Structure 1
């Protein structure tokens, strides 16, 4: 059977791996182990301030305004500082533990395994293309038992560029032997995944499980991964 697409590129965080739930579980463990109640008063305050600083720093990282190593600890440093604890050493300890704990979390979105199995059996070449860090993304895939579905793990670190840059998609084509006209990108982010793929003339599938309203020009849109069966 002739397939319109031969290569399917998936984003990982918030598309297959449930970043929000896994991050919350990891932060909960840190909150308990470091007895952060005495600093923050409540887990919700700790989580909300971490997410605020983490989001701002990731935006800076995407714009090449900070280095990965700075992002890793500074998100905890700023969170602690906001709560009145100016402690760089503690921030670095929290960062190291978070990087270790986070990829051990295994929550994926509904129908992830079933959908990937279906696509693999249909003969598609499946790949990951992610802005996440090398040391955690491969562990996430392995711990969730998703690694066997994918031929290549393309990271922004190895590519030397983040999505939505054309450079990371060019690198992905080189590594996988894919071409834009036989590839499709599945992701949750309109800017990094969808616009990035579109600028490289790759068709896109927007995973919009949160029902975000938008006016973007997208090839396909789904709310559940199982819907890929009707498209591919």
Structure 2
């Protein structure tokens, strides 16, 4: 059993357990080939860099409730196509649909993710997910990576009606799991959404800083590799 005050451990999914960047690159590569996008973008690296740019900006807009989910899904491709001279909404929507179908089939997780989760489960912790991702995608990711069996509750922003860092999603998570702020711990890679959100809700945090990014944020704990979490817990 656990040897400290924590009982409920909440994990972010993308870029914390599921390697979004690696899995996204595999998916984009397939789309680049399938749709012969070299005719529009000239190189895969250019296509990938433009997708990452627009995807990041649109997710920020989504967190601030400035765009809807459906718009985010296709606009990240539409804007890439449009700025490269292919103003084709139908093509963007086709590519977007394929991305949503192919991406969750990818199974790259961060090193030692399974081993760490198994150890925590064996120690008696209740493990949960809190994700801003979309239901139909996140459940597929968890299933295909064989991560889903570790978790008691999957809390999505769609179900909660709020995105991290809003206190509403953390309140929803506590209610749904029977956890309290004092016996909970949030683990995530994003200082703005995961860490600041948990801190504002009086929940301790572990910042998963896999890139060893320099920062001045106030975090409860920090790790560069997932397996280090087992030394804290």
TM-score bucket of the superposed structures, by smaller chain = over 0.9
Tell me which residue corresponds to 1:36.
37
Aligned runs of 1:129-208 on 2, under 5 Å?
A: 129-208=130-209
CA deviation after TM superposition for structure 1 residue 75, in Å: 0.7
SS at match of 1:221: strand
Superposed structure 1 runs of 4+ greater than 3 Å apart: none
- The CA distance in 2 between the partners of 1:161 and 1:229, in whole Å, is 30
Aligned runs of 1:206-225 on 2, under 5 Å?
A: 206-225=207-226
Tell me which residue corresponds to 1:71.
72
Tell me which residue corresponds to 1:127.
128
Tell me which residue corresponds to 1:102.
103
Q: CA RMSD in A?
A: 0.7
Aligned length: 232
Tell me which residue corresponds to 1:20.
21
- Unaligned ranges ≥5, structure 2: none
Any idea what the Cα deviations from partners look like across 1:29-74, whole Å, max 9, x if unmatched? 0001111111111000100111111111111111111100001001
- Unaligned ranges ≥5, structure 1: none
SS at match of 2:138: helix
CA deviation after TM superposition for structure 1 residue 4, in Å: 1.4
Tell me which residue corresponds to 1:9.
10
Tell me which residue corresponds to 2:59.
58
- The CA distance in 2 between the partners of 1:44 and 1:132, in whole Å, is 25
- The CA distance in 2 between the partners of 1:181 and 1:227, in whole Å, is 22
Any idea what the Cα deviations from partners look like across 1:95-122, whole Å, max 9, x if unmatched? 0000000000000000001000000000
SS at match of 1:28: helix
